[in-house]
Every structure is written in structure tokens, then in C-alpha cells.
Copies of this chain bind each other. A is one copy, B any other.
């Protein structure tokens, strides 16, 4: 029986295949976060699995973004000083897993969806169907689950500022040029490419894999103090009037369900406060 409600896991020869399947748009909501917490716990104690592939059952959405609607009713609890948010801490656990983690991106990964991918070891995207975005700026926030920090470390100052301040959608080719993903791969070849790489790594001795991950992580792990600062700034503004007004507009105009708004979120966010016609 599948112990998860929003994803499935299948294992084969040391490779775990995780498939997000949380209709309609793989929203990063409470259920999905609980599943990711349980999956992290399972993987942290799993010495048999060498490689983990993350993909989506929905070709249009990898992970839509964080469930902003849930914040409208009850404000987020303030964070203790120096603490990172639950989501930020969770994603950092994924970045420290003993397994090699690979994101196979088809469809949209925005906000926390992009931040989850950024916490993985590698990211490959469908050239035709991969979409990445950090739209938080449009509702008065910064990417708050590690994205601001990891984008700065990975893309460099200029491109991280463009991604975070512009809040636009990026196709896979641009994301590759910027270093957001390892590579854009033709959609028809993406699954085979990722599986071949995963199988190959799973066949190598465990010792070399562990050494490589340890040395690379020692040099490139996301800065802990910066992650905490990022969380503090994010949570502190979740209940700001301008943020709440923009989230309400988003919810009233098709946000968080499958439709025009979520499919073209990067472009449509700048239409606020104008009402969108439902297409």
C-alpha cells in the first residue's frame, strides 16, 4: 500500500523513482509537505538506495508552488530568531541526503517547486515543456525556501537578481544558459537520459559517491545564516496587507487550480489589480 498521498515511490536496482501525483497542479500544500517529510526520513536511513529520481505524473505541472491560499485564514506562526522555516529546513534535508538526487523537470516548477529542485544534486529539464519561475516578488515576498540563496550561489549575482526581481517564467534553454538547470534535453529523450544516468551512478561503488558528495557539499552547501535570514524575511511579510491583497486577487482569478492563471502565471501576475477573464 502506498504510504504517501501525493506521490508514489518505486524502486529498482538501487534507484528510487518518485512521481508527484497530486491533482490538479501538484500544489506544495500541507499534504505534499507531510509526504516530503516522511520521504526524507525514509531516505535518510536507507543504505540500499543510491539514486533518487523526482518526476511528475502531470506533464504540465512538476510542482506548482507553495499553497498561499492556506495562509489567508491563519497567519504563519513567527519564526524563532535565527531559525529557517519548516519548508526551508525540509529542502535543506534533501540537499544533504546520502543518495544522489536528480530532478526530471517536465511542466511548471515555480516558487517552492523551483526551490525544491534547487536543493537537489542535479536538474534536467524538458526543452519543450520545462518551465521555471520564482514569482514571489509579485506578491511582495522573496523566494523563502532557499531559492534566493541557492540561485545566488548557482547563477551568480546578476542572473539571480533578474530571476528573483523579475518573477518571470523561464524556459528550459534559458534556464540552462543561466545555470538554473544542468541541461535542457529534448522532451522525447529526457526520461531515458535521466534513467541512464541514474542506473549508471547506481552501479558505481558507494565509497566514491559518498566522497564526492561530501567534498562538493563542503564547498557549496547553501549558507545557513543566509537561509535563516531569507526565511525570516519571507515569514515576516506573509501577512503584510499588500501581500494578502495580492494573494486574494490571485485566488479570485484562478490561482491554485488548473487554468489560465496557473498555466501562464509568470506573465499574468503583472496584471494585478485588474480582473482576469476566465478563458
Contact = CB atoms under 8 A, between A and B. Distances in A.
- The size bracket of the interface on A is 35 or more
Contacts of A213: 161, 165
Interface string A56-73: 000000000000000000
Interface stretch (A38-46, A85-93, A152-160, A253-261): A152-160
Chain A contact residues: helix, strand, loop or mixed: helix
B179 A138 contact: no
Pairs of residues from A and B, 5 with the lowest C-beta to C-beta distance, nearest first? A140-B205, A157-B220, A142-B211, A211-B233, A137-B208
Contacts of A276: none
A104 to B, nearest CB: 13
B270 A160 contact: no
Interface of A: 100, 121-123, 136-143, 148-149, 152-154, 156-162, 164-168, 174, 176-177, 179, 181-183, 197, 200-201, 203-209, 211-216, 218-220, 223, 226, 229-230, 233-234, 237, 240, 242-243, 246, 270, 272
A170 to B, nearest CB: 11
Given A152-B216, A165-B201, A177-B176, A158 B140 contact: no
